[in-house]
Amino acid sequence: MFRYSRRALALVWQTSRALTLGLAACTLVAGVLPAVAAWIGQLIVDAVVDAMAYHQQPGAELTLASTWPVLRYVLAEAGVIAAIALAQRGLSAQQSLLRALLGQKVNVMILEKAGSLSLGQFEDSEFYDKLTRARREASTRPLGLVNKTFSLAQNAISLVSFGVLLVQFSPWAILILAIGALPVFVSEAKFSGDAFRLFRWRSPQTRMQMYLETVLAREDSIKEVKLFGLEGLLLERYRRIFQTLYGEDRRLTIRRETWGFLLGMLGTLAFYGAYAWVVVETIAGALTLGEMTMYLMVFKQGQSALSASLTSISGMYEDNLYLSNLYEYLEQPVAKDAGKLTQGTHPGDGIRFEGVSFRYPGAETIALEDISLHLAPGKSLALVGANGSGKTTLIKLMTRLYEPSAGRILLDGSDLREWDIGVLRRRIGVIFQDFVRYQLKVGENLGAGDVAAFDDESRWQDAARRGLADDFISDMPAGYHTQLGRWFKGGQELSGGQWQKIALARAYMRQSADILVLDEPTAAMDAAAEAAVFADFRQHSHDKMTILISHRFSTVRAADHILVIDGGRILEQGDHASLMAANGRYARLFRLQAKGYE
Ligand SMILES: Nc1ncnc2c1ncn2[C@@H]1O[C@H](COP(=O)(O)OP(=O)(O)OP(=O)(O)O)[C@@H](O)[C@H]1O
């Protein structure tokens, strides 16, 4: 139950010491004062009884002086009640401030961690799930746990202080009450633990449910869902998952509440036994009327403190669940980047793959096998191969998004692993097939290619010109400052080809890069645009290394070196003329495509 309370508390402490101390102080005050109020209640009743006896004497007059011994207690009780109200307001004010601060702190922690993770970790479904869950509830859960812990503490303080009052009556009464209340506490804790395990265990199903929600209600999928009429089918699957989960929930809830009721009755029984005892003792004259009033108040408030504690406990498991997930995510080990090189041992040597093989984490088949190649500055390389042959994987290795399982990749004579990752990445400009469509301004979509020039308008324009995007950008309502995408007000959606021009221009933003990688950069462009892109590309990349992936042989044929990949291995290589002369796979595919145009 309390596994994560300490950590949640530490988190709150780091977020704001003043607010945490304030919260603790208010909790203490709000915990102790109810007992003080009950005690003053006793003094009032006893003082009233005394005053009544006095006023029944002949000649006694009702004056302020004669009632003051009672009124001062009434005043004191009013003061205590006001202090309780103040403490409770203080609690809720500080909680709402802390909620905002803590939500922000946890979100920043989550996002900072996300920046230090590897691509492989993001592709691990369980891990990714942890990340999304951590993010979704970051603003409420940690404080929820702290609040419940504090509320439990407050009620515990109340119960202890009621105990202090009750001990004058009889220590046995306390023992009876404690023994009566214990079973329901234990059962509540046990079922909370069960619920915790149940929720953790079924997280894949919950994830599928969430995914279905996304598919059914997101603009980017709804188009296809509607046209294929998938709503019914997906909704049915969504319902089925719910039914299974609901069955388990129902069983647990019924067991939990039944036991809670039965064991709670035990507590109530003990409680009313002690209650009856107090009443009998008063009748027998062993207790004053004031004492009886106090004990009855203590019993009433003790009962509500007890049920509030049980509510806190039963709510705590969900918060614990959240925090266990959050900490597992935050404690995910991150590979330390040891590379320091800013220059290779053979500057100007270019890129070399030496016997590189790679298998995706958890995959059965190998994605690349024994790849060796050399690309010198000023040269262009084209990768050709069927879908899934490993072309994009090769790029991912070269950009160090993954590391080879065997063999090594060298840049200017030094292993990529020895390079400073920042320096290495600055040398590479890349657009992937699945480039990002940022829901930002057009200009910022270009600026993303070079952080140093993120806001530089003249650089945006240069890059747009080279990416053939300047024409349609200048036609947009606010030019380079037009918002893109549909998420924000006034956002403009682009066509597939226009987005691709934006992505290409983004790659051109990276002026310092001497390695340019284009993974199917023109697949969505019209033929004229594609021809223009490559004419420009050839003209401007004479001193750079360029790698091009394309299924169009008309663009591939101009490359200095062509690599035909099949099933992760190099099948053929050479320039266009030599591959045609060899009359192998390349020549066959080239002719096939050419024939389509005849
Ligand atoms: N993140 C990944 N995790 C596991 N396996 C992957 C991952 N990405 C790709 N693969 C597998 O690796 C192989 C090579 O994929 P890759 O994306 O490199 O192909 P490609 O040649 O670029 O294909 P395409 O022409 O369709 O873009 C495929 O069999 C694919 O299933």
How much is the pLDDT for 1?
58
438 exposed, middle or buried (CB, 10 Å; 0-12, 13-18, 19+)? middle
Q: Same domain, yes or no, for 423 and 537? A: yes
Residue 140 maps to a domain: yes
Which atom of ligand 1 lies nearest, measured to the CA of 394? 18
Q: How far apart are CA 367 and CA 470, in angstroms?
A: 38
Q: How far apart are CA 373 and CA 338, in angstroms?
A: 26
Q: Same domain, yes or no, for 170 and 290? A: yes
Instruction: Say if residues 545 and 515 touch (Cβ distance below 8 Å).
Output: yes
Residue with the smallest CA separation from ligand 1 atom 26 is 387
Residue with the smallest CA separation from ligand 1 atom 28 is 388
Question: Which of these, 404, 391, 392, lies nearest to 432 by C-alpha position?
Answer: 392
- 500 CA to centre of ligand 1 in angstroms: 21
Q: How far apart are CA 423 and CA 420, in angstroms?
A: 5
| pLDDT exceeds cutoff 80 at 541 | no
Q: Same domain, yes or no, for 29 and 79? A: yes
How confident is the model over 116-130, as pLDDT tens digits? 888 888 888 778 878
Which atom of ligand 1 lies nearest, measured to the CA of 390? 18
Q: Same domain, yes or no, for 307 and 400? A: no
Host H or E run for residue 4:
none
Instruction: Say if residues 23 and 95 touch (Cβ distance below 8 Å).
Output: yes
Instruction: Say if residues 574 and 561 touch (Cβ distance below 8 Å).
Output: yes
Q: Same domain, yes or no, for 371 and 315? A: no
Q: Same domain, yes or no, for 327 and 408? A: no
Q: Same domain, yes or no, for 360 and 498? A: yes
- 388 CA to centre of ligand 1 in angstroms: 5
pLDDT interval class at 85 (50, 70, 90):
very high
What's the Cα-to-Cα distance from 157 to each of 150, 275, 313, 484, 538, rounded to whole Å? Answer: 10, 21, 16, 57, 78
Total number of domains constituting the chain: 2
Residue 213 maps to a domain: no
Residue with the smallest CA separation from ligand 1 atom 8 is 393
Ligand 1 site, residue 121, Cβ cutoff 6 A: no
Residue 223 maps to a domain: no
Query: 331, 364, 389: which is the final residue of a domain?
Result: 331
Q: Provide the CATH number for the domain around residue 370.
A: 3.40.50.300
What are the structure tokens assigned to 248, written together?
Answer: 């388990």
Q: How far apart are CA 467 and CA 308, in angstroms?
A: 64
Residue 338 maps to a domain: no
Helix (H, G, I), strand (E, B) or coil at 399: coil
What are the structure tokens assigned to 58, written together?
Answer: 């002949």
Q: How far apart are CA 332 and CA 323, in angstroms?
A: 14
Query: 296, 331, 366: which is the final residue of a domain?
Result: 331
- 523 CA to centre of ligand 1 in angstroms: 18
- 529 CA to centre of ligand 1 in angstroms: 27
How confident is the model over 563-598, as pLDDT tens digits? 999 999 999 999 999 999 999 999 999 998 888 776
Q: Same domain, yes or no, for 175 and 316? A: yes
Instruction: Say if residues 592 and 580 touch (Cβ distance below 8 Å).
Output: no
- 391 CA to centre of ligand 1 in angstroms: 8
Residue with the smallest CA separation from ligand 1 atom 3 is 360
Ligand 1 site, residue 360, Cβ cutoff 6 A: yes
Query: 282, 301, 331: which is the final residue of a domain?
Result: 331
Q: Is the dihedral of CA 64, 67, 73, 75 positive or negative?
A: negative
Residue 423 maps to a domain: yes
Ligand 1 site, residue 389, Cβ cutoff 6 A: yes
Q: Same domain, yes or no, for 166 and 19? A: yes
Q: How far apart are CA 107 and CA 128, in angstroms?
A: 15
Q: Quote the domain boundaries for residue 588.
A: 351-596
Question: Which of these, 551, 573, 160, 157, lies nearest to 371 by C-alpha position?
Answer: 573
| pLDDT exceeds cutoff 70 at 432 | yes
Q: How far apart are CA 442 and CA 484, in angstroms?
A: 6
Q: Same domain, yes or no, for 73 and 126? A: yes
- 429 CA to centre of ligand 1 in angstroms: 21
Q: Region 406-424: what's the mean pLDDT?
A: 93
Which atom of ligand 1 lies nearest, measured to the CA of 568? 14
How much is the pLDDT for 325?
82
Q: Same domain, yes or no, for 297 and 379? A: no
Residue 116 maps to a domain: yes
How much is the pLDDT for 579?
94
Question: Which of these, 187, 153, 158, 152, lies nearest to 299 by C-alpha position?
Answer: 158
Q: Same domain, yes or no, for 528 and 456? A: yes
Q: Region 98-116: what's the mean pLDDT?
A: 89
Ligand 1 site, residue 158, Cβ cutoff 6 A: no
Q: How far apart are CA 543 and CA 158, in angstroms?
A: 78
Q: Provide the CATH number for the domain around residue 200.
A: 1.20.1560.10
Residue with the smallest CA separation from ligand 1 atom 14 is 390
pLDDT interval class at 562 (50, 70, 90):
very high
